[in-house]
Amino acid sequence: MTVATPKAWDAALSKIEYVREHGVDQFINNYKKNFSISRDVLMYGDELEYGIFIVDHEAKTVRLSLRGAEIIKDLQAKEDDEGEANETGKCKWVPEYGSFMIEAIPQAPYGGFTSDLRRIEANMRNRRARLLSVLQPNEIAPSVVNFPRMGVGNFAGDFPNNGKYAASRFVPDEVINPHPRFWTLTQNIRKRRGENVKIMVPLFDDENTDHTPEDGAGGTPGIYMDAMAFGMGCCCLQVTFQARDVGESRHLYDQLAVVAPILLALTAATPIHKGKLADWDARWNIIEDAVDCRTQAERGEEVEREADYSPQMAAGASVGSRGQGTLASTRTSATTRAAQTRTRRQAGSTTRNWSSMRMSRPN
């Protein structure tokens, strides 16, 4: 990943219109350039994300290991020193959002032969073996989606919260990858939104459940999380396909958009957040809220500049924006809808809708 100097939100404001305009132009030009491609070669690959934890057997505690950048450097050096790859194939190691996270991919994509199918599991095993070979004796890399005690006590070491970038009451900035891209992304989402992200997960309810709202949750009961790390600190398996043409790509996407949420629900891999048992056991809504940079007006929570705004989907939203824990329509209060209707009548024209149908790829 290239190291550059990203712009802070305030410094980027004067360039937003330029980036938006030229980004659309580049997309259209690339679409036209590749639209006529047909019978392309099938290629695919997977991304495996790992969390690195430190186990203290005497104290019977587990916390995050923030050595991700150091470990990646060691692993990539070994890959570079290695000669010809064997049948399992070489690996490539790249940074992820968390300083405790590592992403591993096959160095070359798989193809459409049966021999490629045989390489997949072997390469996955190879990646795990190589990762374990550079860990310290007290470090582990289990295949778990999230760290269950993220945001509880000294879960990452003795670091203060409320840092410059996340400004979180639960998570120190040190859990963010030191690459400037991740720091700036965290800070800019918070600044554009005008406040910290608000992730609310319902508690698993039994007779002993305390539904007293947490401080900062605005009176909403549940598990309250206020930082991007709670979502982007989740690990997963991702698969990317190169289809033979645009038509097949769209067909594949449409099928995965239906199948992937079912598979995500079947994994039920995230039942605990911030040390509490949740009533959700999939991470999708948490990731969506973790990167929600919309202002209150854009979320439909505040009627402001009514002639210019209507509620938008979050950047990390599903194919259709969701309701409370489901893939449902955008949540807009009756008060907001009435205000928007009144504004349209006063203006004598239709409200300008800036919402963009951003589609997220299935994981």
Tens of pLDDT, residue by residue over 192-234, are 999 999 999 999 999 989 999 999 999 999 999 999 999 999 9
Least confident of 128-132, 223-227, 303-307: 303-307
Q: Residue 319's closest CA among 359, 263, 289, 287?
A: 359
Structure tokens at 103: 């992403």
Closest CA to 198 of 227, 222, 170: 227
Residue ranges of the chain that CATH labels 3.30.70: 40-144+237-244
Read off the pLDDT band of 332 (50, 70, 90): very low
Mean pLDDT of 343-363: 35
Looking at the domain 40-144+237-244, which fold is it? Alpha-Beta Plaits (3.30.70)
Residue 89 has what pLDDT? 78
Q: Is the pLDDT of residue 110 over 90?
A: yes
Q: What pLDDT is attached to residue 153?
A: 94
The better pLDDT of the pair 339, 165 is held by: 165
- What's the average model confidence in pLDDT over 151-166? 95
The mean pLDDT value of the chain amounts to 84
Class of residue 288 by CB neighbours under 10 A (exposed 0-12, middle 13-18, buried 19+): buried
Q: Give the pLDDT band of residue 354 (cuts 50, 70, 90).
A: very low
Phi and psi, residue 200, nearest 5°: -120, 125
User: Which pLDDT score, from 0 to 100, does residue 4 have?
Assistant: 76
CA distance 217 to 226: 9
Flag whether pLDDT at 307 surpasses 60: no
Q: Residue 324: pLDDT above 50?
A: no
The amino acid that residue 311 corresponds to is P
pLDDT reported for residue 150? 97
Contact 242, 42 (CB under 8 A): yes
Q: Which two tokens stand for residue 194?
A: 């005008």
- CA-nearest of 282, 143, 287 to 228 is 287
CA separation for the pair 162, 168 (Å, rounded): 5
Between 85 and 177, the higher pLDDT residue: 177
